[in-house]
Amino acid sequence: MPRLTLLAALLLTVFGTHADEVQVAVAANFTAPMQQIAAGFEKETGHKAALSFGATGKFYAQIVNGAPFEVFLAADDETPARLEKEGHAVAGSRFTYAIGKLVLWSANPDLVDAKGDILKKGGFRHIALANPKTAPYGAAAIEAMTKLGVLARLEPFFVQGENISQAHQFISTGAAELGFVALSQVYKEGKVTGGSMWAVPASLYQPILQDAVLLAKGKDKAAPAALIIYLKGPKARAIIKSYGYDL
């Protein structure tokens, strides 16, 4: 379906309907901004967004096996495209809602230097990252370490989280001295919220294009259609930008 035709259909679905609930699968890196967006969405439309957070790869498996999700906000662009191709998502509904950034972060304000040289110098026992097989930020971390030539040396120190939220938890609780997380997890309104950080240069990993898609179970339903429209609007985009994402 052409994109303009799809948007018109979504608008027709949204208006003149009663408030409802939409089941949303959300990549773990987008937890904080999506919680804020969902609150504004409910206040403005009356619809409620029931949010589930996790790894993109695991959500893919759940969706193809019949999970009741109606909208999917992934941490990559490949998984939504695959769901669309396989008929699990509405053709033409996919769009990039955010471009993610990878950072090396420590809860210790004096540990991570501004150039990330600690990866070559060492001096730590554990480094956290998300599972690269299911989490795009984990895959980006592996790619960055490979290009820096430090992967083989650092692998024995890996503490692997199921998703990027668990990787962040390992670092914030001290289970790992440092690790790779999403900028959005340690950044708000133009500043790092604590600890020390190195923004991994974009040249060291493939762009993290995060796509959203209307899933087949959400087709022709008011709340999912309304959320897709809201995510593209200025209020949601302002929140996304405030967490350090590019648009």
The one-character DSSP state at 28 is G
Task: Find all residues with CB under 8 Å of 118, minimum gap 6, and list them.
Answer: 104, 111, 112, 124, 178, 198
The annotation status of 56 as a binding-site residue, yes or no, is yes
Place of tokens 């259609």: 225
Would you state the structure tokens that stand for residue 86, as one six-digit string?
Answer: 């396989």
Task: Tell me the C-alpha distance between 87 and 79, whole Å.
Answer: 12
Q: Write phi, then psi, for 116 (nearest 5 degrees).
A: 70, 20
Task: Tell me the C-alpha distance between 97 and 213, whole Å.
Answer: 10
Beta bridge partners of 160: 129
Task: Tell me the C-alpha distance between 81 and 157, whole Å.
Answer: 34
Task: Tell me the C-alpha distance between 28 and 17, whole Å.
Answer: 31
211 near 80, Cβ under 8 Å? yes
The annotation status of 164 as a binding-site residue, yes or no, is yes
Name the binding residues for molybdate: 56, 164
Name the binding residues: 56, 164
